[in-house]
Structure 1
Amino acid sequence: MSRTPSRPPRPPRPPRPVRPVRIGPRAAVALVLVSLIGVAAFGWPLLADRQSGLAHSQDAPWLFAALLPLLVGVVVATIADNGMDAKAVAMLGVLAAVGAALRPLGAGTAGLEPMFFLMVLAGRVLGPGFGFVLGSVTMFASALLTGGVGPWMPFQMLSMGWFALGAGLLPGPDRIRGRAELLLLAGYGFVAAFAYGAVMNLQGWTIIPGMNEGISFHAGEPLPANLARFVAYYLATSLGWDLGRAVLTVVLTLALGGTLLRALRRATRKAAFDATATFDPDPATATATDACPPVHRG
C-alpha cells in the first residue's frame, strides 16, 4: 500500500501592507473647511487696506476658538467614515505625546527640530485626516510643555497639521515600498520643512515693524509687490534656519524611517483600525444566550 507524499507546508504569507486611513466624505468636508479658515487667517493681511489694524495677536484667539471644534470634527468625521474605535484615538494621543517631547530637544538650535520626521512617518501610516489632527495636537501639546503659548500657536497648529496631512496624501505603500518609500518621504520632508517655515514667516512678517524698505510689509500695496518683498525677507532671515530643519528631517527619515514605519504599521495592524465587523454563523460558536429559544408573550 503506497502512501501519498505529504505536501510541504505553505510558507507564511507576508503581512498585508497597512494602507493609510482613507478620507471619507464627512472628513473631507471638515478638512476643507478648516484649511479654508487657515488660508484666510494667514493671507488676509496681504489683501487688507492700510486702515485694517493688522495684528495677528488680535485674530489669533478667534482662530484658536474656531480651530479646536473643527479639529474635533475632523476626528469624529474620520471615525464615523471608517468605523474606527478608541484605539485609533489612543494611538494619536501617544504619538502626539512623543512628538511634543521631541520638540524641545532641538528647538532654538539652528532649526534642528526632530519632531518633523515623526510627523512625516505618522502621517504616512495614519493617513491625511488623522495626520492633520496629529500635527495640530502635537504642536498644541508642545506649546504647553515648553511655555510657547502665544498668538503664533494656532498658526503653528495649522501649519504642522498641513505638514502631516501632505505626508498622508503621498502615493500609497502598495505602490511604493522599501527604499523607494523612504526616499519619497525624505524628499517630501525636505521640501515641506521649507514650506512650513515660509508659511510661519508669513504670519509674523506682516506685523514686524522697523525693517528695511526692501523686505518690509506695506499694507495696502499690490499683492505681487508684497509677495516679492516677502521672498526677499524669507531668503534674508529664515532660509538657513529652515535648511537645518530640512536636513535633519532627511537624515532621521533615512536612518530611522524603516524601523519606525514597520513599528507603526504593526501597531496599526494589531489595532485593526480598518477591520469590519463580521458575525460567525456557526452555531457551535454561539453563546449560551444566543442558544436560548425566544420567549413568546401572549
Structure 2
Amino acid sequence: MSGARDPRVTDPQSAGPRERAPHGGHAPAGERRPALSDRTPAAPVDPAPAPAVRAPRPHVVRLGPRSVVALVLVSAVGVAGFGWPLLAGPAAQVNAHAQDAPWLFAAVLVLLVAVVAATVSETGLGAKAVAMLGVLAATGAALRPLGAGTAGIEPMFFLMVLSGRVLGPGFGFVLGSVTMFASALLTGGVGPWMPFQMVAMGWFTMGAGLLPAPDRMRGRGELLMLAAYGFLAALAYGTIMNLSGWPFMDTLASGIAFDPGASLPHNLARFLAYCAATSLGWDLGRALCTVVLTLVLGGAVLKALRRATRRAAFEAPVAFRGPADGDRPGTA
C-alpha cells in the first residue's frame, strides 16, 4: 500500500537522534555506539630514537685547571733541577748531580702520573688514549738508536714535534718524558743525566702542543711552522742539557766554565762559548734532521696521528639526544 509505513523506519520524534554507522552508513536499529568515556585509551607510542650526534671537540686535548697545575709543578721542579747549581757556589763538585738526580727522577715520575690523571679526569679520555701514548713512546724509543753517534741525526725529535702538535701540551709533555726514559733503557743511557733529559724532552714536545691554530691550520703552512719550531727547539734542547753540566766544569775548562763570582753577562758569554765548543755541531745536525724529516714526512705522519686519535676516542664520544619537551607524551 502506498500509505503504509515501513516498520523498519523509526519515528524521528519518538526516537533519539539517528546514529551513524561506520563508513558513513546508518547504525542498525537498537544499537548504540560507545561513548567517548567508555572507550579504552590507545597505548602511547614511544617516539623514535633520536639519531646519534657528536658534540664538536677539537682534535687536540685541551688543558684543564688541574692539568695546568700539574704541568706548572713539574716544570718548576725541572727549572730547580737545572738551575740550582748556578746558586751553589764554588764548592759544588763535578759529580753533584749524582746526588740530586734520583730525587729529581722520583719527583718527575710522580708529577707525570699526576699530569696523566688530571688530563684523563678533565677530558674523559679512557684506556685507548693512554695506550696510544705507550705506542708512540715505544716508536720514539725505537727511533733513537737509528742515529745515535752519527752527527746528531736523531729522528726521534721529528716524531715528538708532530705528536705534540696532535696530542696537545699535556699529553705531549708526558709523551716526551716517557719516550726519553724508554729510549734510555733501550740504549743503556741510564745515568744522572737521564732525569734532565726527560724534563727537557717533555718541554720540547709540550711546546709543539702550544703552537697556534691546532684546529684550523693545515697543509704546507702548518709543516713550515712545525719545521721552524723543530729547528729552534732542537737547538734549545741541546742548550738546556748543557746547562745541567756546565756549572761543574770549572776544573776541566776554566776559560769557558761557570764563574760564581762573575757577573751575569760575563757568565752568559762563557756559557755560549761552552755550547759552541762542545755541542753546537751535534745540535745543528739534530735541528737540520728534524726540519728535513718534518717537511718530507710530516704531512703523512700528521694525517696518521689524527686518524689514530679519532679511533682512540680523543674526540667526543657518541651521545644520543632525547626528544624535545614538545614531543614527549603528556606535554602540551
TM-score norm. by structure 1 comes to: 0.85
Aligned to 1:193: 234
1:54-107 Cα deviation digits (max 9, x unpaired): 611211011001110100000000111111101110000000000000000001
Q: Are 2:134 and 1:98 equivalent residues in the alignment? A: no
1:68 alignment partner in structure 2: 109
Q: 1:153 aligns with which of 170, 194, 207?
A: 194
Pair member with larger Rg? 2
Q: CA deviation at 1:236?
A: 1.7
Tell me if 1:49 matches 2:89: yes
Q: Is the 8 A contact 1:128 1:168 kept in 2?
A: yes
1 CA distance for matches of 2:268 and 2:161? 28
SS at match of 1:51: coil
The letter for the 1-side match of 2:238 is G
Q: Is the 8 A contact 1:48 1:220 kept in 2?
A: no
Q: What is the DSSP-based 3-state SS (H/G/I as helix, E as strand, rest coil) of the residue aligned with 1:278?
A: strand
Return the alpha-carbon distance in structure 1 between the equivalents of residues 132 and 58 of structure 2.
Answer: 15
1:28 — aligned with what? 68
Q: Secondary structure at the match of 2:319?
A: coil
Separation in structure 2 between the aligned mates of residue 51 and residue 237 of structure 1, nearest angstrom: 24
Structure 1 residues 235-244 or 248-257, which shifts more?
235-244
1:84-123 aligned at under 5 Å gives the runs 84-123=125-164
SS of the aligned residue for 1:195 comes to helix
Please report how far the alpha carbon of residue 205 of structure 1 lies from its aligned counterpart in structure 2 after TM superposition.
Answer: 1.4
How far does residue 114 in structure 1 lie from its aligned partner after superposition? Answer: 0.5
CA contact (8 A) 2:250 2:259 kept: no
1:296 aligns with none
* CA drift at 1:277: 5.8
Counterpart of 2:274 in structure 1 is 233
Tell me how far 1:278 sits from its aligned partner: 2.6
Give me the identity figure in percent: 72
Q: 2: CA distance between counterparts of 1:39 and 1:209?
A: 22
| Most deviating of 191-200 and 228-237 | 228-237
Gaps of 5+ in 1: 1-15, 283-298
Runs of 4+ in 1 over 6 A off after TM superposition: none
**For residues 248 and 52 of structure 1, what CA distance do their matches in structure 2 show?**
36
- Relative to the length of structure 2, the TM-score reads 0.77
| Equivalent residue pairs, number | 267
1:158-237 correspondence runs (5 A): 158-237=199-278
Q: Using the alignment, how far apart are the partners of 1:170 and 1:19 within structure 2?
A: 14
Corresponding letter in the other structure for 2:74: V
TM-align CA RMSD: 1.7
Aligned to 1:109, the other structure's residue is in SS state: coil
When residues 141 and 94 of structure 1 are mapped into structure 2, their CA distance, relative to the original with a 3 A threshold, is: same
In 1, the alpha carbon distance for the partners of 2:264 and 2:313 equals 49
**Which residue does 2:300 correspond to in 1?**
259
**Contact kept? 2:126, 2:313, Cα under 8 Å:** no
**Residue aligning to 1:138:** 179
Aligned match of 1:268: 309
Of 37, 60, 73, the match for 2:77: 37
> Is the CA contact 1:18–1:265 (under 8 Å) kept in the aligned structure 2?
no
In 1, Cα distance between equivalents of 2:161 and 2:263:
36
Supply the AA of the counterpart residue of 2:242.
N
Matches of 1:99 and 1:93, distance apart in 2: 10
Which structure carries more helix by proportion? 1
Paired residue type of 2:285 = G
Could you list the per-position Cα deviations for residues 164-203 of structure 1 after superposition, in whole angstroms to 9, with x for gaps in the alignment? 0000000123332100000000000000000000000111
How far apart, CA to CA, are the structure 1 residues paired with 2:68 and 2:260?
Answer: 34
